[in-house]
Amino acid sequence: MHELAQNTKSALFSLCQQYVKQRIDTARQAMEAAQEAANSESKSSAGDKYETGRAMAQLERDRNAQLLAGALQLERDLQQITIDKTYESVQPGSIVTTNRGAYFISIGAGKLLLGDDAYFGVSAGSPIAVALAGRKAGEVAAFNKMMYEVLSVV
């Protein structure tokens, strides 16, 4: 059981890393495209059109810079997760299986598919993870007016 759990954690961790890498790459590409758009705006006889175009491209670049900063923070958060140990209670790095689904307490990566099994990558600060925090197998947590029975924690 322990080896299977570690393999599952490693696979989920890898999926989270791929998710973060994709977000970083997408934000960087969008930033570069916006910067190129700003640089390629040429002065025209319209005058204000040039300034407006550059300002719009700069706003787009700044928005994508914020997305990149968020993705880099996710990467740092993921690096703080310890997956090479088994947990008895729900905490960062654990996989918790409930009567309503399975969760990998790591980063907010959404639905993670491993074969036919679905897990939800959630950050430790997410409402569901906060509700489940510290719970052990057999315990119950209330979240969103529903009861979540913890079936297992690894």
* Range 97-116 burial, b when 16+ CB lie within 10 A, else e: bbeeebbbbbbbbeebeeee
Phi, psi values for residue 73, rounded to 5°: -65, -40
pLDDT of res. 1: 54
User: Is the predicted pLDDT of residue 104 greater than 70, yes or no?
Assistant: yes
User: Degrees (nearest 5) of the Cα angle 16, 76, 68?
Assistant: 85
pLDDT (mean) for 130-142: 97
Q: Judge residue 53's burial from the number of C-beta atoms within 10 Å of its C-beta, 0-12 exposed, 13-18 middle, 19 or more buried.
A: middle
User: Mean pLDDT in the chain?
Assistant: 90
User: Is the predicted pLDDT of residue 107 greater than 90, yes or no?
Assistant: yes
User: Is the predicted pLDDT of residue 87 greater than 90, yes or no?
Assistant: yes
Task: State if pTM tops 0.95.
Answer: no
